[in-house]
Structure 1
Amino acid sequence: MKPIWKGAISFGLVNIPVQLLSAEERTELNFNMIDQRDHARIKYQRINAETGKEVPWENIVKMYEFEDGSYVVVTDEDFEKADPKASKTIEIEQFIEAKELNPMYLEKPYYVAPVKGGEKPYSLLRDAMKESGKVAIGRVTIRTKQSMGAILPVGDALVLNLLRYSDEIRTTETLNLPEGEKITDKEMDLAISLIDGLTASWNPEEFQDEYTSALMKRIEAKAKLKGKDLPEEPEEEEVTPSKVVDIMDLLKKSIETKSRKRSDPADKAAPGDKSKTSKSSGKSDEKAAPRKRKSS
């Protein structure tokens, strides 16, 4: 795995030499664009607006244009020398309690790995953060963009998760959110019973991209037909919003359906079959007792 950034974490007077490596692995299907008339591939060219000729990558540079139409050519050296320290250092500006980190701000994760000479201070920072339950907040400049970032311990590694700035998060003021809806005790008890019935220990490996798998199966089926149309499939029943009058009935049916699935032997995974891992661990095996709502 090739590092995308090398520098140091600045922690008080301590500098920890590190490198950043992507923690993501994209699995989307790749598609090419073609002309539907003759199925010829579509190509995109970099054209000089004055000459109309294609421009090779090595001749392309960036420029910044001012409001009056004048501009300045910006080189790689300009990006590096604008703030040399920022481009080579993750400056920890503060520590916060882990529970304070709002998931709305999380954007993109990177593994932080020590380079030679940084193993001891790296271990110290990681273990101290685990012990204290703290998350580090700082700034990092990757390529040409400075981002706010949170450094947190995950297992034996430190992870840098880039954060969105506060002005990049939209508020809920424009949303038509419900207020003052009267919820009865019975409705609340049934809803909580359904939630308890679906509660299990989270295992991320149980969740796969089912849509991409289904799309790939359809693509393979079309390939076998060699240009012929696939047979028509029955349309899925349209999902309609639940009306107020039938919420109780829907909750009861949902709980009954969940109970039947749990007791159906055919629904249980065969030994060694990871594709049907049971999710009925923990609280889901126990029938939820009616709950009393606290009076205000």
Structure 2
Amino acid sequence: MAARPIWSGVVSFGLLNIPVSLMSGERRTDLHFRMLDCRDKAPVRYERINAETGEEVPWSNVCKAYEYEKGNLVVLEKEDLDAAAPKGSETVEIEGFVELASIEPVFYEKPYILVPGKKADKGYVLLRETLAKTGKAGIARMVVRTREYLCALLPRGDALVVMLLRYAQELVDPDEYRLPSGKSSDYRVSAREVEMAASLIDSMTVAWEPEQYRDEFRKRVRSAIDKRLKRKGTTTKKIPDEAPEAEDAATNVVDFMALLRESLATNKRTPARKQAVSRKRAAPAKKTSVTTARKAVAKKAKTASARKTTAKRAASRTRKAG
């Protein structure tokens, strides 16, 4: 199945706007399991249960609350959350450029790949090559779905990668923990020991080849699953792949030199045009939990009715036999 864009919009810096699509930059390989009742292998469901009545609560009756202190909650209304939510935008607006090496690894959270839109190849390549040549990263903000993210744009081969960044307030300051500080001599670490440790590190130094490292736990669990499938047998259903989209290798005919000159002269940005990129329509929502709950109730009622009918028939046969 062809990958679908998570978000479509433009990268904006100075007066330049580059139409792009945001694609996932990671492939999750976690194995997801379903919970079953071991007695009859029936699925175990997660339900919203009222702690006081024991009854299931439909989504329409669920609200959010914040526990501001132990045991005390403040309820937030929908309008409170709507007012706090970021306004939708189709722009990755670069606020500035920093040295790529100055971003500590702990700030990186999740990668995405930017794919140029139609006739946007020239602007895409211009930004990518300039970032690679200068060793800089663009720091920007972008809204994906209902949340605003801080992110960094950086080159990786032929791609422009968006790395979601953690905010500084999300990181724990190491000073909060008891750590050995001061000089190595304060801990009786000798110069000879440092020299020997450095020699050991040199002897174990290899080229960084990430493809050599595999998730061994997943591999062992996958092997166990395959053995079970061979023992018990199973059926599979293949979902047909979607037809690949046609490629468009057209290049941008915008006068980038003029825009760059004007951006440098004015040192100002202009907001990206809304009509530059048509926003992807959201996928149709799944059926609500309320509908599911109603079906479950109807099914239970039907089952109960069938049981009563069976009981009446059994009682009638018993009376006739007597």
Question: Counterparts of 2:38 and 2:192 in 1: how far apart (Å)?
Answer: 57
CA contact (8 A) 2:18 2:123 kept: yes
TM-score with structure 1 setting the length? 0.65
Question: Counterparts of 2:231 and 2:119 in 1: how far apart (Å)?
Answer: 59
* 1:141 corresponding residue in structure 2: 143
Question: Counterparts of 1:216 and 1:9 in 2: how far apart (Å)?
Answer: 40
Q: Which of 157, 182, 197 is the aligned partner of 1:191?
A: 197
CA contact (8 A) 2:128 2:155 kept: yes
TM-score with structure 2 setting the length? 0.60
Question: Counterparts of 2:6 and 2:32 in 1: how far apart (Å)?
Answer: 23
CA contact (8 A) 1:63 1:74 kept: no
Question: Counterparts of 1:51 and 1:160 in 2: how far apart (Å)?
Answer: 46
Question: Counterparts of 1:61 and 1:146 in 2: how far apart (Å)?
Answer: 27
Counterpart amino acid of residue 95 in structure 2: E
Query: Residues 218, 91 of structure 1: CA spacing in aligned structure 2 closer, same or farther, 3 A cutoff?
Result: same
Counterpart amino acid of residue 137 in structure 1: I
* 2:215 corresponding residue in structure 1: 209
Query: Residues 211, 68 of structure 1: CA spacing in aligned structure 2 closer, same or farther, 3 A cutoff?
Result: closer
Listed as ranges, the matches of 1:69-84 within 5 Å are 69=75, 71-72=77-78, 83-84=87-88
Alpha-carbon shift at residue 72 of structure 1 (Å): 2.8
Query: Larger relative CO (CA 8 A, sep 6+): 1 or 2?
Result: 2
CA contact (8 A) 1:19 1:112 kept: yes
Query: Residues 111, 194 of structure 1: CA spacing in aligned structure 2 closer, same or farther, 3 A cutoff?
Result: same
Question: Counterparts of 2:200 and 2:123 in 1: how far apart (Å)?
Answer: 48
What RMSD over aligned residues (CA atoms) do the two structures have, in Å?
3.1
CA contact (8 A) 2:86 2:143 kept: no
* 1:19 corresponding residue in structure 2: 21
Listed as ranges, the matches of 1:1-296 within 5 Å are 1-45=3-47, 52=55, 55=58, 69=75, 71-72=77-78, 83-84=87-88, 87-179=89-181, 180-220=186-226
Question: Counterparts of 2:80 and 2:4 in 1: how far apart (Å)?
Answer: 26
Question: Counterparts of 2:74 and 2:46 in 1: how far apart (Å)?
Answer: 31
* 2:265 corresponding residue in structure 1: none
Alpha-carbon shift at residue 218 of structure 1 (Å): 3.9
Deviations 1:202-242 (A, max 9, x none): 1111001111112333445567788xxxxxxxxxxxxxxxx
Query: Residues 142, 96 of structure 1: CA spacing in aligned structure 2 closer, same or farther, 3 A cutoff?
Result: same
Gaps of 5+ in 2: 67-72, 233-322
